[in-house]
Amino acid sequence: LDFRDICRTFPPVQFAEADGLNVRYDAIAQHYGLKTNIVDITSDISVAAYFATQQYDEDTDSYHPVRDGCGRIRKTFQMMDIPGFQGMVIGVQPFYRTTRQCAYGYVCNPGDDFVKSSPAVLFKQDLKMNKIVSDVFSQKDEYNLFPAELITYAAKEVLKASSVTKKTLEEYCNISQRNYGDIVQILHNHGFAVTENPVFKLTRQQRRTLEKQIQKGYPYGKIQFTSRLMAYSPK
């Protein structure tokens, strides 16, 4: 909830909400490192190939080509028709990662097993080929799946924070019907403080930079929206 409220202070988010965009804060949180109950799915096979052939290094916060072993790409057929499937279209968002990664989401409930509804294609990892995949996504900035963004730093501040805001804590207690004092005590027992101010705040210069990007007509990362006619055969 703190991360959501920080997102809402960003001019691109304010523009998107005013523009009628369905801003998925849970999906944004998932893509910028916060833990959620969402499994990432993509509609782009090249994006799936990237994540299937690159290994994440938590120490350096970066991806490197897998050297050897067995890889797999999981797939779903008509995923919205799978019994009990809680899929969601994430699509274009005010920040770039979800858009660049052609993101969908699988919302997990306790006990859900995505593996049971997603057969896998297995392949042999090849370092030479995996480097080619890595190079493809680093040749041009518009192909970069992890572009430099201010929201990345905001997410990192939330992740390492030892405090939560009073405002969102009260909201959480109302949603979950928990006693405010009890939750405050639990937080204190785990080394967390309750504060009035968020852990990240845009500077005046940062805000102006983001506002200028919107004024230039690039609120969604220079994406060109198109429409097309579709015909549906009668049942």
What pLDDT, in 10s, does the model give residues 87-112?
677 878 899 898 889 888 888 778 87
- How far apart, in whole angstroms, are the C-alpha atoms of residue 3 and residue 151? 10
Q: Is the pLDDT of residue 67 over 80?
A: yes
Q: How high is the pLDDT of residue 78?
A: 55
What are 61's two structure tokens?
Answer: 């916060």
Mean pLDDT for the stretch of residues 165-179: 96
Let me know the angle formed at the C-alpha of 22 by 157 and 4, rounded to the nearest 5 degrees. 20
Q: How high is the pLDDT of residue 55?
A: 95
Q: How high is the pLDDT of residue 21?
A: 87
User: Would you say 153 and 202 are in contact if contact means Cβ atoms under 8 Å apart?
Assistant: no
Q: How high is the pLDDT of residue 103?
A: 87
- How far apart, in whole angstroms, are the C-alpha atoms of residue 214 and residue 17? 13
pTM for the complete prediction? 0.85
Q: Is the pLDDT of residue 127 over 60?
A: yes
Indicate the average pLDDT of the chain: 88
Q: Is the pLDDT of residue 80 over 60?
A: no
**Closest to 28 measured CA to CA, from 99, 132, 77:** 99
What are 16's two structure tokens?
Answer: 């998107």
- How far apart, in whole angstroms, are the C-alpha atoms of residue 64 and residue 50? 10
Helix, strand, coil percentages, rounded to 5, for the chain? 40, 15, 40
Q: In Å, what is the CA distance from 234 to each residue of 81, 230, 231?
A: 19, 13, 10
Q: Is the pLDDT of residue 219 over 80?
A: no
